[in-house]
């Protein structure tokens, strides 16, 4: 079955068995490339007859996208706290009544609308042995190789490896309220995937490749259906060249608006950094790297509480790596 596309729903190919794969783009309103990548894959699937399971694709923050803002009131990717979907909506309380809805923030209303289309898939997966995989597609303010952020409770490592994605490992509980972490906490596979720089064609190409290859890896379509020449796999392998397969965050440079933080131009994800290298300036003067490592998510946008991250390959990382719970690029 292929539903008619709406503003929120790009497609719903529903099948009675096989895995359930959900793609979400545009949780942040300044990140339209995830939505465009999903549209490309939906078009490539045609009538969906090749699918061996359910595939659905949705838009996250319609209001934010219309305003081209990361968020309007609060970060939509920090609202999926433990218990959401398990308790308050378990007893038929969803959707909430209109009076309560009016009292919510813009992103809380977006969350309600998104959960209304996501919940049926979660219900099916909870009542059957079918596997549910959620791919949350993002971009960042800096260019660089695509990567995925996995919490300690995520089961997405093998899929990330098959997609040639560098894994940024976070301790369990390090990112509170992320949609992919919520999916993982409910016993499913959730991946936050960063495809490249905001609004770049390269990022859109990478995210499209990730979804195409991902559907083949998950056996939702026969191998070669969405990547007949292997060009999408080759693209992902080429983008990962020279980048460690797995890293842990070893340092987070947190910032406040009054710091007047400005990242120096030209930095990219996984750029090799030396101890003492000047990376940015703030009102106190130069900002120096406290250690060597690989740079991650240098901040080049107005919203954000982290100026940059330093990471180490897993076998070099400190035992107690630092997590993050701010509103930077993630």
Question: pLDDT tens, 24-70?
Answer: 999 999 999 999 999 999 999 999 999 999 999 999 999 999 999 99
> For a pLDDT cut of 70, what percent of the chain falls above it?
85
Residue 203 to residue 183: CA distance in whole angstroms = 24
Cα(249)–Cα(268) distance, rounded to whole angstroms? Answer: 16
Q: Give the pLDDT confidence score for residue 155 in this predicted structure.
A: 75
Q: Where in the chain is the domain with CATH 2.40.50?
A: 247-316
Where in the chain are all domains bearing CATH 3.40.630.10?
Answer: 9-239
Q: How far is CA 123 from the centre of its chain?
A: 22
pLDDT on residue 118: 96
pLDDT beyond 60 at 177: yes
Highest averaged pLDDT of the listed ranges 85-99, 176-190, 251-265: 251-265
* Whether the predicted pLDDT of 94 surpasses 80: no
Residue linked to tokens 């695509």: 146
More confident residue, 272 or 6: 272
Neighbours of 230 (CB within 10 A): 12
Query: Over 50: is that where the pLDDT of 322 sits?
Result: no
Coil, strand or helix: which one is 228? coil
- The token pair at 202 is 């390269």
Which of residues 212 and 306 earns the better pLDDT score?
212
- The alpha carbon of residue 163 and the mean position of all alpha carbons in its chain are separated, in whole angstroms, by 14
Q: What's the whole-number average pLDDT of the chain?
A: 87
**In the CATH hierarchy, which top-level class contains the domain 9-239?**
alpha beta
Classified by CATH at the fold level, domain 247-316 comes out as OB fold (Dihydrolipoamide Acetyltransferase, E2P) (2.40.50)
Residue 185: the pLDDT is 86
pTM for the complete prediction?
0.87
Instruction: Answer whether 325's CB lies under 8 Å from 176's CB.
Output: yes
Residues 254-297 have pLDDT tens digits of 999 999 999 999 999 999 999 999 999 999 999 999 999 999 99
According to DSSP H, which parts of the chain are helical?
33-45, 62-67, 98-102, 106-127, 157-162, 179-185, 201-217, 231-239
| pLDDT tens track for 142-165 | 999 999 988 765 678 999 999 999
Q: Is the pLDDT of residue 252 over 50?
A: yes
Region at 303 (left for phi over 0; alpha for psi -120 to 50; beta for the rest): beta
Q: Is the dihedral of CA 172, 175, 181, 185 positive or negative?
A: positive
């Amino acid at each position: 079955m292929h539903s008619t596309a709406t503003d929120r729903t790009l497609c719903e190919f529903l099948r009675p068995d096989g895995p359930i794969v959900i793609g979400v783009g545009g949780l942040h309103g300044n990140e339209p490339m995830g939505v465009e990548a999903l549209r490309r894959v939906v078009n490539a699937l045609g009538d969906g007859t090749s699918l061996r399971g359910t595939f659905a694709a949705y838009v996250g923050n319609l209001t934010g996208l219309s305003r081209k803002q990361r968020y309007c009131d609060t970060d939509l990717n920090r609202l999926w706290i433990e218990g959401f979907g398990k308790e308050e909506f378990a007893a038929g309380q969803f959707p909430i009544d209109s009076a309560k809805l009016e009292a919510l923030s813009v992103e809380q209303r977006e969350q309600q609308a998104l959960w209304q289309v996501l919940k049926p898939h979660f219900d099916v997966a909870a009542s059957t042995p079918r596997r549910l995989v959620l791919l949350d597609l993002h971009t960042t303010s800096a260019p660089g190789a695509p990567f995925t952020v996995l919490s300690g409770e995520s089961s997405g490592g093998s899929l990330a490896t098959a997609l040639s994605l560098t894994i940024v490992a976070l301790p369990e509980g390090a990112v509170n309220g992320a949609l992919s972490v919520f999916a993982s906490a409910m016993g499913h596979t959730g991946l936050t995937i960063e495809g490249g720089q905001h609004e770049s064609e390269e990022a859109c190409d990478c995210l499209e490749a990730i979804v195409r290859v991902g559907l083949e890896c998950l056996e939702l379509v026969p191998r070669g259906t969405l990547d007949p020449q292997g060009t999408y796999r080759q693209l992902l392998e080429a983008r990962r060249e020279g980048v460690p397969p797995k890293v842990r965050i070893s340092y987070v440079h947190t910032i406040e608006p009054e710091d007047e933080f400005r990242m120096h131009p030209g930095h990219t994800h996984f750029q090799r950094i030396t101890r003492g290298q000047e990376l940015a300036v703030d009102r106190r003067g130069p900002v120096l790297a406290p250690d060597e490592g690989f740079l991650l998510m240098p901040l080049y946008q107005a919203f954000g509480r982290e100026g940059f991250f330093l990471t180490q390959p897993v076998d070099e990382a400190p035992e107690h790596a630092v997590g993050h719970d701010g509103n930077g690029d993630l």
